[in-house]
Amino acid sequence: MGFNIKLDTFKKKFFLLDWDDNILVMPTKITLDKVVKNKLVKVDVDSNQFRRIRSKIGSTYMVRSDSFTKFVNPTQFKEDVLYSIKHNNFGPVYNKFVTALVNGHDFAIITARGHSPKIIKDGIKLIITNNLTPKQKKDITINLNGETITKYLNRQKYYTVSSKEFIKEFKLDSTTQNPENGKKLAIIDYVENVVKLYGKKFKNISIGFSDDDLGNIKVVEDIIRTVLKIKFPNIHFVIYDTSNPKKIKKIRIYMA
């Protein structure tokens, strides 16, 4: 289940991972107004529930001014990461993400959250500190060949597509209700940077993307097939659809 591809056939491996319901199943709530008998009733939903009802926003459900407050609060994020770890609320690619960390592979987090990139990075530090075994921590140090964990994490990319930082960098208005567009821009940016930094150094490059939202999966698959695979035909792209945690779908993308 998960990243079953034989990664040892590639000389350089990269991972682009969604956070919520993919790495961790977080208890963070989104506050909405629901239309019930012509009245608006305040309801709280988690990210998994929001994914299922997002198409009903504007009809059955209404966005409030405070709908995504908890998705930008740094203290809330820390608390929710620790809660998920304590209660073993791990997503379908959590173990593979830990394996990537332990082996010092490069990765990017692409999430609809509105936190600053630093907050997501701090969340990964919490995972390393609070849930990795002593052996795993030792192996990270060995596999980083003298590089500190802090420097390693600083080298990675954290695309928080609803954050002020992301919106400013990519000159957007807002992506809070349309994360697909932000994730599309993020994956293009990441792949282009990978090629720029490593394209000449490594003959074989593998890039795996995982997400639990079918809307995001569709957008990413389309942009890979119509743009990235044509522009970078030698990169091996694999998409992991984790919308059903018990049955992860793997989509390999070859030349168009």
Q: Tens of pLDDT along 123-166?
A: 999 999 999 999 999 999 999 999 999 999 999 999 999 899 99
- Does residue 237 sit within a domain? yes
- Does residue 179 sit within a domain? yes
Contacts of 60 (CB under 8 A, 6+ apart): 34, 35, 53
Domain count, the chain: 1
- Does residue 20 sit within a domain? yes
CA distance 170 to 182: 9
How confident is the model at residue 196, as a pLDDT? 92
Looking at every residue in the chain, the average pLDDT score rounds to 90
Q: Are strands 106-111 and 157-160 parallel, antiparallel or unpaired?
A: parallel
Residue 2 pLDDT > 80, yes or no? no
- Does residue 96 sit within a domain? yes
- Does residue 39 sit within a domain? no
**pLDDT tens digits, residue range 90-99?**
999 999 999 9
The boundaries of the domain holding residue 197 are 7-26+70-253
Helices 134-143 and 94-102: crossing angle in degrees, nearest 10, is 50
Residue 5 pLDDT > 50, yes or no? no
How confident is the model at residue 4, as a pLDDT? 43
How confident is the model at residue 29, as a pLDDT? 95
- Does residue 56 sit within a domain? no
Q: Which secondary-structure segment (H or E) carries 239?
A: strand 235-241
CA distance 168 to 148: 30
Compute how many other C-beta atoms are within 10 angstroms of the C-beta atom of residue 226: 11
- Does residue 57 sit within a domain? no
- Greatest mean pLDDT among 80-89, 173-182, 196-205, 227-236 lies in 80-89
- Does residue 159 sit within a domain? yes
Whole-model pTM? 0.89
Q: Give SS3 for 253.
A: strand
What angle is formed at CA 58 by the lines to CA 52 and CA 60, rounded to 5 degrees?
Answer: 60
CA distance 250 to 187: 18
